[in-house]
Amino acid sequence: MSDLIDSPKQGENAPEFSVSELSGALKRMIEGEFSHVRIRGEVGRVARPASGHLYFDLKDDKSVIAAVTWKGQAAKLATQPEEGLEVVATGKITTFAGQSRYQMIVSGMAVAGVGALMAQLEKRKKALAAEGLFDASRKQDIPYLPEVIGVVTSPSGAVIRDILHRLRDRFPRKVIIWPVAVQGEKCAPEVTAAIEGFNKMTPGGAMPRPDLIIVARGGGSIEDLWGFNEESVVRAAFASDIPLISAVGHETDTTLIDYASDLRAPTPTAAAEHAVPVRADLMGWISSMEERRVRSLAASLENKRQRLRDLGRALPNPAEMVAMQGQRLDMLGDRLPRALTAAATAKRSRLVQAGAGLRPQALSNQVTQRKEVLDRLFKNLNTNAKTSVDRLRGQLDGLERIRQTLGYEATLKRGYAVVRDQAGKVVMTADAAKGADALEIEFQDGKVKA
């Protein structure tokens, strides 16, 4: 009997878990143990779906861990994940029960070291250059003397004081300051908004639109200047309709906005020097140009005056010219009475010759001759017209005889008749006659209904 009863197997008395219970226990254990971790690694694939969440991988030479940043936190990341970028990610480890895997929820991210920043900077520079954002052919000329200058910088610090002081010394202009953060997370969005805001101003409005924009900041490390390497700042500088001077850092500092701007200044003070000329130098140049203009005008007038004197000496004496014309007038005056008398005599002779042909007998003879010609023409016309009428009347009578001979009336006189239906059409066959409702028969002496 003992062989028929199975003995309990080892472990069958252990508690049973459902799949959800086990997944929950693992989730609580992992999140409790790794509620705050910092992971250094290279960013792998990056996905940005329409939901706004960020999905990417963190990897090293041996392992890969999936990471996610939720929509609300994605825009707040100091460094956006880019494939190939080495970063230090901060967050917690959790599980995803739907696929039996774990992942890291990233709440913060920073570039791992200066070398990684430089690599990211070089990669971004090549990508933007390939789009043509750094082409020299697209750069605008800096206005020689702008009326209004917009300055994008921190409202406090030595930079804005240096720019205002330099402008005041060289050539005072109207300055509009757009305060921004010049480092940190707010730097890039605020600088972008400032450049775009200046461009959206209406010319001639309550707030005058700048003729020139200066984006300025003092020197610093690559991390401090990183906001001016962000893509949004570079694109805003490239798209600016207002000429833009970048003055970020000192002489040796270079950021991507320097390549997209219309002019790079090594320092903020140098930007102010590029923006306006020296007023004293300009006034001196204008004064020297005015002196040259006055001297040139005086010399030109003196040359024309001398030329006039030279030409005047070559002209004849006006008194002599008038005297000669007076003498000619006297001669013509003496000849005038004789010329009038001769002309009157010639006209009178022509009048006598023309009057000789106007005697009454001559006119009467001409009238008689013209009348005889008209009588002959009228007689010939009557004769020709009568002959033509007789000939045409004979042709018409002949045609009438032919018409009567060929007409159907003559056929009726020979004993024939014409049959028509109620519509007046000629009936040609017996079938057509049978199908007609009424017939009309025409004889030579009248018509009969049938």
| DSSP-derived secondary structure for 53-119 | -EEEEEE-SS-EEEEEE-HHHHTT-SS---TT-EEEEEEEEEEEGGGTEEEEEEEEEEE-SHHHHHH
pLDDT at site 4 = 46
pLDDT at site 36 = 86
Do 93 and 28 meet the contact criterion of CB atoms below 8 Å apart? no
- Give the Cα separation of 114 and 442 in Å (integer): 126
Nearest to 58 by CA among 43, 78, 80, 76: 43
Q: Rounded to whole angstroms, what are the CA distances from 355 to 338, 343, 347, 359, 367?
A: 26, 19, 12, 8, 18
All residues at 6 or more sequence positions from 218 whose CB lies less than 8 Å from its CB, including other chains: 157, 158, 159, 182, 249, 250, 268
What is residue 42's DSSP assignment? E
pLDDT at site 333 = 84
- Give the Cα separation of 414 and 218 in Å (integer): 134
Per DSSP, helices labelled H in 171-218 are 187-200
pLDDT at site 115 = 66
Per-residue pLDDT of the chain (450 residues; tens, 9 = 90+): 444 444 555 556 677 778 877 877 888 888 788 888 888 888 888 898 988 899 999 988 788 888 999 888 888 887 788 887 788 888 988 887 777 788 899 988 877 765 667 777 888 889 999 999 999 999 999 999 999 999 999 998 889 999 999 999 999 999 999 999 998 889 999 999 999 999 999 888 888 999 999 999 988 887 888 889 999 999 999 999 999 999 998 878 889 999 999 999 999 999 999 999 988 788 888 888 998 999 999 999 999 998 888 887 777 777 777 877 888 888 888 888 888 888 888 888 888 877 776 667 767 777 888 888 888 888 888 888 888 888 888 888 888 888 777 777 777 766 677 888 777 788 778 787 777 778 888 776 777 777
- Give the Cα separation of 335 and 344 in Å (integer): 15
What is residue 51's DSSP assignment? T
3 state SS of 241: coil
Are β-strands 64-69 and 101-111 bridged in parallel, bridged antiparallel, or unpaired? parallel
- Give the Cα separation of 142 and 272 in Å (integer): 12
pLDDT at site 357 = 64
Q: Residue with structure tokens 């480890």?
A: 93
- Give the Cα separation of 409 and 444 in Å (integer): 7
All residues at 6 or more sequence positions from 100 whose CB lies less than 8 Å from its CB, including other chains: 23
